[in-house]
Amino acid sequence: MEGPVALTSQALELVPERWPGSRPRRSRMNPLSPTTLFHVKLDPETLARDLSPSQQESLRGFEDLLKGPGAVRGVVSKGDLARLWPRHILDSLRAVRCLEPGDRTIVDVGSGGGLPGVPVAIARPDASLLLLEPRESRVAFLEMAVSSLGLPNVAVEHGRAEHASIRADAALVRAVAHPHATWELCSPLLRPGGRVLYFAGARFGDNELLGLRRAGVAAKNCDASLFPGYGPIVIMQTDS
């Protein structure tokens, strides 16, 4: 799996870190750079260690489901089995720091094996997550995983984004399409003021960010990748 590509807002203000007990920190990067990033913790394991023991147990349970029935059903590739925890589950948790505290309705578009939706749902039990997936085989796995993990804040919907009726505070998109195409696909799923959190590929840079802005999409990088080959999470919303 390749890392995702992200889109987001024009505003270059730095957003405070969202983890409990943390204080807003400013990046030391040039504030005029279009790729200004939020504060990044260098240890990926911190993303899980900041969660409660029961949440960490749920994440490990999800990893087991991906390695077991997920692998059997082809939800994850054999090449990804040895790196599921760091490169996919922990990487998915980056999105939590890019969400707003008031985000209560979140949709994971093209959820696939539940990445990033399931880890985010575990980390944000106060939010309702919809896992939107067009492939029946993936939907069956997602329903089984949600039931096995006992996640009351997660629903699974078999369908495409074009036909979904949800209006969410945030849409999570990981490895679905090009940034512009992703915005066009997902923006109708958002309530006014909602945002798309796009996991960008490693090649996503200043030109792509500026291209989104020229197209009227407020776009900014939220969080840098912790792993080689993965790009930032880009937050996109309508340029008002």
Report pLDDT digits (tens) over 186-228.
Answer: 999 999 999 999 999 888 889 999 999 999 999 999 977 777 7
* Contact between residue 222 and residue 7 where contact means Cβ atoms under 8 Å apart: no
Quickly list H helices, the chain. 46-49, 53-65, 71-72, 84, 91-93, 117-123, 136-149, 179-186, 206-214
* pLDDT score recorded for residue 202: 85
| Segment 124-133, tens digit of pLDDT | 999 999 999 9
The residue type found at 111 is S
Strands 230-238 and 217-223: antiparallel
* pLDDT score recorded for residue 225: 72
| CATH C-level class of 46-203 | alpha beta
* pLDDT score recorded for residue 27: 35
* pLDDT score recorded for residue 240: 58
* DSSP letter for each residue of 8-23: --S--PPPPP-STT--
- Work out the mean pLDDT of the chain and round it to a whole number: 83
> Tokens at residue 142, please?
């997602």
Q: Give the whole-angstrom CA distance, residue 233 versus residue 214.
A: 19
* pLDDT score recorded for residue 100: 96
Overall pTM surpassing 0.85 (yes/no): no
Residue 53 has pLDDT above 60, yes or no: yes
Q: Give the whole-angstrom CA distance, residue 229 versus residue 188.
A: 30
| Segment 86-112, tens digit of pLDDT | 989 999 999 999 999 999 999 999 999
Residue 23 has pLDDT above 70, yes or no: no
> CA torsion 216→220→226→227, rounded to 10°?
20
Tell me the domain boundaries of the chain.
Answer: 46-203
- CB neighbours of residue 224 within 10 Å: 18
